[in-house]
Structure 1
């Protein structure tokens, strides 16, 4: 079966295996350590590299109706995914509005590293995708957070005071956080400089991409391994939610992108973005807006359950499902 072949190929890629190595090393209490400053530097590297390449690709293809359609789909996904997640948590899981909203914000927002891993997967399959998808990723980070917080206000009779008092801080954190600024800024620079400008930085930002991703995933594996101790706090329902919600989000997005006629590469990236869970932008916003929400829930779920599932099995699975309808 093609899915099993893709899953095995994905699992045996150096990037994924280094994630597994980091995870196992932490479980075995190895003293492997990557300094925080290097981790932050790698994250900045990815944001600039992806943005530059995306801007360059847009400069080649130009802005057309497909871009407007992609923006519409991004906003649609950013609205419905957190809504579905919130309703499942609130009425099936019976969680309070605060924790339901906090978790929904994470599952409605996106994971940069999952997106990067999906790009690597598409490159391994020689599957093309549009440069503007970088912009869609940045665009999808913030709407889900606002939708989730709006749902909390609607369903919580006490109207959580912090949602009112911290509105300015929340807007700043959601719209002007490092990832959004760097992605959009780098994309505009890539768009402005074109092929000649990209060739100057290509040896640093384009060619070593997979090698840097390997190092970054090693660190992510170590971080995920450290959350294992909090699995008991997550509980059975949230554990399975963290596995099933990505499948729901990806399936709905596959149907939507097929309806709008997106290419296989773009559809997969949209599906991966919808299925991913944020562990950078959303936690920062939630800490400001919903300080009473339990971090052991949303951090452990997004980073230690959904993230490994997506990069190891989810991406090839979504690709397989996508091709069933082609």
Structure 2
């Protein structure tokens, strides 16, 4: 009974947070027929500021970390982000009616990291007096960027292949529809992949994110970061979520036949991803002496799903994807499950490694 009450409390708290509260608010006013609109130039400016802030913060945290100690855990974190997206997108796209764009956007958010969930894990370890490396916070950009770029690349690769169609004997092309997977069916086209990688890096969302990381790494932007980007961030994110909520309501009907797919994935993926992160953490522990607390936090990062960097990136890079699908399943379902699973990973680390 206590665990049931804890689940309900966690879900209620999640819906009260700005990310979901403004998303639900946008859906509500759209359902009431409101004519509220955010001009497209304003929306694009908001997204630019959000992604620059995320990138700057990531670059600053990586610059302040010890490079040698960071190397192996960072590689493990980046691999986790890529693997979660590849397999998550493939699993979701197998459901009939789930579009490739929706599958990859959802997998991208699950492969990326929730800073709030990571902070909750750190707070729990601190309360238990469990040691973890000080550079842990610098790991999240490696997993975050790897997951988001992989998701966008695979979604665009799939879109290009589908656009090419299947050439019939009469010279016409037919378009495929529905689910059915993504990626490299029919052989890997290196030239096509190269072009999509270049386009992905040049896209506004990834360009802004990478620019922020570069400036954070190579310059000293702390003053403007703390005085301008940090104070504005939560307010700008609320505007973005309001816009995405209105859009989500307009596209909610698309989910009627496949809602169960996102429900199942949202409830099970955090646990599976967390166990995968635990395995990668053990690899880092074996090669570098990565602490048991660090292994726990890497597991929590893998179990979490992005509620900050992911939504604006996906909205800008994959506008055809449905926010109802990828935000609802990640922030609405995945985040509470990830938070509730933190004690599981602590117990597992105690049994396997010991504190």
Classify the TM-score, shorter chain. Answer: 0.7 to 0.9
Cα offset for 1:123? 5.5
Q: Any unmatched runs of 5+ in structure 1?
A: 285-294
Residue correspondence of structure 1 range 209-288 to structure 2 within 5 A: 209-232=233-256, 235=257, 238-259=258-279, 260=281, 262=294, 266-273=298-305, 279-280=314-315, 283=318
Tell whether 2:205 aligns with 1:179. yes
> Per the alignment, do residues 204 and 230 of structure 1 end up closer, same or farther by CA in structure 2, a change over 3 Å counting?
same
> Per the alignment, do residues 79 and 146 of structure 1 end up closer, same or farther by CA in structure 2, a change over 3 Å counting?
farther
Q: Which moved more, 1:137-146 or 1:198-207?
A: 137-146
> Per the alignment, do residues 179 and 110 of structure 1 end up closer, same or farther by CA in structure 2, a change over 3 Å counting?
farther
Cα offset for 1:14? 3.9
Alignment correspondent of 1:45: 49
Partners of 1:171 and 1:314 in 2: how far apart? 29
What SS does the corresponding residue of 2:148 show, helix, strand or coil? Answer: coil
**8 Å contact from structure 1 (residues 77, 253) kept in 2:** no
Report Cα offsets for 1:16-72 as digits up to 9, x if no partner: 322211110001111121111121111111111111112112222232344432333
> Per the alignment, do residues 201 and 174 of structure 1 end up closer, same or farther by CA in structure 2, a change over 3 Å counting?
closer
Q: Any unmatched runs of 5+ in structure 2?
A: 124-133, 159-180, 282-291, 347-355
**8 Å contact from structure 2 (residues 205, 317) kept in 1:** no
Alignment correspondent of 2:60: 56
> Per the alignment, do residues 191 and 19 of structure 1 end up closer, same or farther by CA in structure 2, a change over 3 Å counting?
same
> Per the alignment, do residues 120 and 30 of structure 1 end up closer, same or farther by CA in structure 2, a change over 3 Å counting?
farther
**8 Å contact from structure 2 (residues 81, 144) kept in 1:** no
Alignment correspondent of 1:291: none
Report Cα offsets for 1:110-146 as digits up to 9, x if no partner: 389x85xx33565588749513412431222233455
Alignment correspondent of 1:109: 108
TM-score (norm 2): 0.68
Q: Which moved more, 1:45-54 or 1:245-254?
A: 245-254
Cα offset for 1:172? 2.4
Q: 1:189 aligns with which of 215, 226, 230?
A: 215
Cα offset for 1:227? 0.8
> Per the alignment, do residues 56 and 324 of structure 1 end up closer, same or farther by CA in structure 2, a change over 3 Å counting?
same
RMSD over equivalenced CA pairs, Å: 3.6
Tell whether 2:71 aligns with 1:35. no
Partners of 1:15 and 1:104 in 2: how far apart? 21
Tell whether 2:150 aligns with 1:143. yes
Alignment correspondent of 1:321: 341
TM-score (norm 1): 0.73
> Per the alignment, do residues 47 and 228 of structure 1 end up closer, same or farther by CA in structure 2, a change over 3 Å counting?
same
Q: How many residues align?
A: 293
> Per the alignment, do residues 212 and 101 of structure 1 end up closer, same or farther by CA in structure 2, a change over 3 Å counting?
closer
> Per the alignment, do residues 89 and 46 of structure 1 end up closer, same or farther by CA in structure 2, a change over 3 Å counting?
closer
